[in-house]
Amino acid sequence: MKKVTVAKSAGFCFGVKRAVEMVYEQVHTSRQQVYTYGPIIHNEEVVNDLTSKGVKVINTMEELQKIDDGVVIIRSHGVAGDVYKAIEKQQLKYVDATCPFVQKIHRIVRRESQNGRHIIIIGNAEHPEVIGIKGWCEGPVWVIESKKDAIDFMEKHNVSLCIVAQTTFNYNKFKELVEIFAEKSYDKIVLNTICNATEERQTEAKRIAGEVDTMIVVGGRNSSNTQKLYDICKKECKNTYYIQTLVDLDSKPFQSFGHVGITAGASTPNKIIEEVQKHVRIKF
């Protein structure tokens, strides 16, 4: 019989679960049109279900400024301070579903930039969480994602720094980049703002991938934390597959082995994880 190991940490994290529940609560209780500023989480299945219930996604300040009535829900990734100001100026009701761990980073970078420190965000510059964090900085800010980025920065600047991280960044890579900054005697504060759930998920995924014949990583195509899980698992198990839903399994050149591991990103509903687990046990 095939052995299937499902990561205990797979699926919704605290911040995502909280955000999704807040949107559904508004769907069921609000008499106004419900909007989310950006997709509430990076999972197309969840976003599509909310859309089917009448929730509309707005992606820009221009779209926001065209709304004159309704409830705006701030996405779990957070937004820049200017978005709050725009919502308040238009006298719209809003619900803040920003992950509390992300809100903590907003407070840190605002405080430290007001104190004169330049902010370094270790993360992906295109990710909405990072874009939101940048929007709370009141002075110079840089986004560092690679060793080259860190080395290039060191050659050009000699300033007081505050270093933070995108909550879903790879923990080992974060440590590697911080060590590069440690080689130069900066006046710096380093705060590991990667959330505990991310570290636990990545550590467990790496362990399972090292024990199985095949690894399946489930999550949205645009999910940063799921992509990082895939990268981590791929290094441990060459037969690692990245899927969004059960349907994707049939389109992959999936090979059947005796021991299959399954993990999932922080925005993946338990229902999808259970469907994949059941399908693997029956079909493969």
Q: Are 124 and 170 in contact (CB under 8 A)?
A: no
- pLDDT of 158 reads 74
Residues assigned a catalytic role:
129
Taking alpha carbons only, the member of 248, 235, 169 closest to residue 201 is: 169
DSSP state for residue 33 in the 8-state scheme:
P
Are 54 and 61 in contact by the 8 Å Cβ rule? The answer is no
The 3-state DSSP class for residue 165 equals: strand
CB 11 within 8 A of CB 273: yes
pLDDT for the residue 155: 67
Q: What is the pLDDT of residue 284?
A: 61
On the question of pLDDT at 75 being above 80, the answer is: yes
Q: Could you tell me the pLDDT band of residue 156, with boundaries at 50, 70 and 90? A: confident
List pLDDT tens digits, range 178-229: 999 888 777 889 999 999 888 899 999 999 999 999 999 999 888 888 999 9
User: What is the spatial distance between Cα 3 and Cα 32, in angstroms, rounded to a whole number?
Assistant: 49
pLDDT in tens, 22-42: 999 999 999 999 999 999 998
Per-residue pLDDT band for 106 (boundaries 50, 70, 90) equals: very high
- Predicted confidence at residue 101, as pLDDT, reads 96
Q: What's 101-194's CATH class?
A: alpha beta
The one-character DSSP state at 185 is: T
Architecture of the 14-98 domain: 3-Layer(aba) Sandwich (3.40)
Q: Return the DSSP state at 39.
A: -
Query: How many angstroms separate the CA atoms of 141 and 44, rounded?
Result: 31
Q: CA-CA distance, 228 to 198, in Å (whole number)?
A: 10
In this structure, which amino acid lies at residue 135?
G
Q: Where in the chain is the domain with CATH 3.40.50.11270?
A: 14-98
Q: Where in the chain is the domain with CATH 3.40.1010.20?
A: 3-12+197-283, 101-194
CATH of domain 3-12+197-283: 3.40.1010.20
Q: Are 87 and 149 in contact (CB under 8 A)?
A: no
pLDDT band at 135 (very low <50, low <70, confident <90, very high): very high
